[in-house]
A and B are shown apart, each in its own frame.
Chain A
Amino acid sequence: MNDAPYIERLNRPLRSYAILFLAFLYIPVLFLPLFSFNDSIYIAFPFKEFTTKWYAQMLALEPMHAALMNSIQVGAATAVFSTILGVFGAKAVTRYRIPGRTPVVFTIMLPLVIPGIIMGVALLILISRLGIPLSLYTVTLGHVLICVPFSMATLMARFEGFDRSMEEAAADLGDNAFWTFWRVTFPIVFPGIFASLLLTFTVSFDEFIMAFFLSGTDPTLPIYIWSQLRFPQKLPSVLALSSVVLVVSFVVVFLSQWLRVRGVAQIPGEGR
């Protein structure tokens, strides 16, 4: 800690700005739950009565249940596949000094910066040329592609603070590569893996553009929400559904970030 005193001095204008900024980040999203309890078909002030009827209406929608199940299936499959690929990739680039590490990591991270629509239409063309019908499987494929970078990034942070001597000890004591991984590496990196699973599940669960191009007749939840936005009379129940989705996403992501951070702090010598 060699911070000069002038840095430590509290900067009030800057702090007010920071708080305003956080308000700007969070307040727009809060309007969805706010209006979902308003007893009016129109999303407008002033408020009418408080009601939970939109939630009841939302729960009664059969297509919503199907879409929710589709999203959960796609999300779970995406989380598992992208985390497995992420483990291989993150382990390889952090454990071994390999030539060309930077271009390799760059290639894997590329889907983060490519506009979603480009990836969506390119995959759509490939899949249709191969004659594969659009389905939840093709959506999962697209989601794995965009989730691997997130998984890699999460796991690389985790693997970098990893004490290699533990693995060496296991290898010296006669464990082969698999058992070393299973008995030493895995327990240490488990919080990272769990964080990656949660994070990739959320990304897939909320993803819209890839699903828009790659889903067949079974919609995922965001696609279902999109299709309902056209009907003004359905807007309140969409608001209710959106609020639930938002709350679940916030909780899951907060949990994953907290796990990731907590996990890293527990590795000795990695005091973050």
Chain B
Amino acid sequence: MGDAISIATRPEGSGRGLRSRLRVAFLRSEALRGYTLLSPTLIVMAFAMCAPFAILVVMSFWTQHAFEFDTTLTLNNYREVIEAPFFRALMIRSLWISGTCAAVTVLVSYPMAYYVAFHVHRHKLIWIILMTLPFWTSYLLRVFSWKVILGYNGAINSGLKSLGLIEQSLEFLLYSPTAVVITLAHAWAAFAILPIYVSLEKIDRSLLEAAADLGDGPVARFLRVTLPLSLPGVLAASLLIFIPTVGDYITPTLVGGPDGIMIANIIQAHFGKVNDWPMGAAIAICMMISVALISVVYIWVTRKLTERIA
């Protein structure tokens, strides 16, 4: 509050009336000054998110006529999205792929985060940087590298063939939902490791000692102390992967094949080749609503479960 105090205690320059009193009030109110400083960022971000979303919602009630929009509001797009089995199947598959991906990523990342939180004592920062570094490099190229590896004639298939282990290429590797899950898990691992690591690092080590003193073995200690206390991190990690991956279309395009197509591919097509923006907007909103609903239910169930354990 440095400058507030120093200015406020200055002689009030022959009382310049309301303006100076307002100025003093402004300088004394921490909240007001905080928000003034915050305003450029907050306004830009709020506007840059609210305005596009508002118009996305509005457009989803319109209809496309060739290159014109019919701006009469109608629910037809939504009716089509909800009624067409094609969209429903695709939506369920996308949610399923992303859910699997989130579960797999959290499962494989947990031991890693656990190791760095509890067993690394020197050069911890190097480990953290090493774990998160690939995340900052091009998403497109990381996905592309999996196409190179899993491809019909890619690294695995051609490698196994030149070693004489297989005759035919293993076709299940590329262009399948499995390929999408592997690629996504690899691409989003950093999003899982960091929240889990933070929640593990925060655990008071004396609780573990207490559990040990009271006779818990390593397994019981982990199940009764470490795991419950790290659940918030697990929860955050799974949502941080589930939510964005539902909207991914690069991975399905590059490694998914016809069986690995996801809902975002269809959204992208509606803004491209199909050229039906209102329909694309409606699909996008349905996707958001499904994701939000599942996330809320998931959070609620996890809360209830942890309450019961505790």
Contacts and interface: CB of A to CB of B under 8 A. Distances in A.
Interface stretch (A59-67, A72-80, A243-251): A243-251
Nearest to A272: B125
Nearest to B268: A117
Nearest to A89: B41
A249 B41 contact: no
Interface residues of A, number: 98
Nearest to A249: B137
B138 A91 contact: no
Nearest to A198: B136
B260 interface: no
Given A92-B35, A104-B42, A171-B3, A28 B59 contact: no
Contacts of A182: none
Contacts of A18: 111-112, 115-116
Given A43-B153, A85-B44, A122 B56 contact: yes
A122 B34 contact: no
Contact of B133 (A141, A203, A239, A250): A250
A197 interface: no
B158 to A, nearest CB: 4
Contact of A122 (B53, B108, B148, B245): B53
Interface string B36-76: 01111110111011011101100100000000000000000
Interface stretch (B15-23, B246-254, B302-310): B246-254
A193 B142 CA distance: 27
B78 interface: no
Given A122-B55, A125-B56, A3 B205 contact: yes
Contacts of A176: 3
Contacts of B125: 261, 272
Interface of A: 2-4, 6-8, 10-11, 14-15, 17-18, 21-22, 24-26, 28-29, 31-32, 35, 42-46, 85-86, 88-89, 91-93, 95-99, 104, 107-108, 110-119, 121-126, 129, 141, 144-145, 148, 152, 164, 167-172, 176-177, 180, 199, 202-203, 206-209, 213, 222, 225-226, 229, 239, 242, 245-246, 249-250, 253-254, 257-258, 261, 272
